Amino acid sequence: GNSVTQMEGPVTLSEEAFLTINCTYTATGYPSLFWYVQYPGEGLQLLLKATKADDKGSNKGFEATYRKETTSFHLEKGSVQVSDSAVYFCALSDRNTGNQFYFGTGTSLTVIP
Amino acid sequence: NAGVTQTPKFRILKIGQSMTLQCAQDMNHNYMYWYRQDPGMGLKLIYYSVGAGITDKGEVPNGYNVSRSTTEDFPLRLELAAPSQTSVYFCASTAVRGTEAFFGQGTRLTVV
């Protein structure tokens, strides 16, 4: 079946530090992969996505590369800001094998000045 | 552009009461979803719909019901509220299976 395993949090970083949040997946087909961000008191917003192997999604300085050989989609940012403090969710959706999204448990990030 | 709109934003229910969480989208999406988010547990799928008149159970459907009479609306019904249903509920929609989902702002429900 399909599933997503995400790095446990919480993560606390100083401003301008490098961020990596690990995400690995299990899928029976060829899924699309997503990172969503949830700011306090808000719903989830799409941060970036990749639809096939070796694709790199990027947005707001965040990047993630779809690695089929390691079944991973790790989120990275070179220099985090206080405004990046949020909960980050890795997710997959496979149009060929199901109708739903599969989410990781979320990783809480706090960036301190 | 409104996207996905959920009402209410907050609600307190007494045990045994009923309520309907409203969800509407204006993007003409066929696929709609209801999730609940418990602290540290990620999102769990309650029900989903692939189009008007079609609904199906997700991972945690017990205690909930849904209907989809129009493309735009996907209400979630709690018939006999229990403390275990205290959670944050999110509605989402997608245009095509496998593409990105758009989320509402959430409904924070407390059952006391």
State pLDDT tens for residues A42-77.
889 999 999 999 999 999 999 999 999 999 999 999
CA distance A47 to chain B (A): 10
How far is residue A91's CA from residue B42's CA, in Å, rounded to a whole number? 10
CB contact under 8 A, A95 and B96: yes
Query: If you write DSSP's letter for every residue of chain B in order, what string do you get?
Result: ---EEEE-SEEEE-TT--EEEEEEESS--SEEEEEEE-TTS-EEEEEEEEETTEEEE-S--TTEEE--SSSSB--EEESS--GGG-EEEEEEEESSTTS--EE---EEEEE-
Q: Which of A51, A98, A101 has the CB atom closest to B101's CB atom?
A: A101
Q: Which of A45, A95, A103 has the CB atom closest to B98's CB atom?
A: A95
What is the share, in percent, of chain A residues with pLDDT greater than 90? 77
pLDDT given at position B77 = 97
CB contact under 8 A, B90 and A31: no
* Closest CA relative to residue B64, chosen from B42, B84, B50, B40: B84
Q: Burial, B35: exposed, middle or buried (Cβ in 10 Å; 0-12, 13-18, 19+)?
A: buried
> Distances from the Cα of B36 to the Cαs of A8, A45, B77, in angstroms?
20, 16, 13
CB contact under 8 A, A93 and B97: yes
pLDDT given at position B86 = 96
pLDDT given at position A8 = 82
Q: Which two tokens stand for residue B18?
A: 């009923």
CB A62 within 8 A of CB A76: yes
pLDDT given at position A101 = 86
* Single-letter amino acid code for the residue at B13: L
Q: Which of A3-12, A81-90, B57-66 has the lowest mean pLDDT?
A: A3-12
Give chain A's end-to-end CA distance (angstroms, integer): 42
Residues of B in contact with A32 (CB under 8 A): 98-99
* Predicted confidence (pLDDT) per residue in B51-83, tens digit: 999 999 999 999 999 999 999 999 999 999 999
Residues of B in contact with A88 (CB under 8 A): none
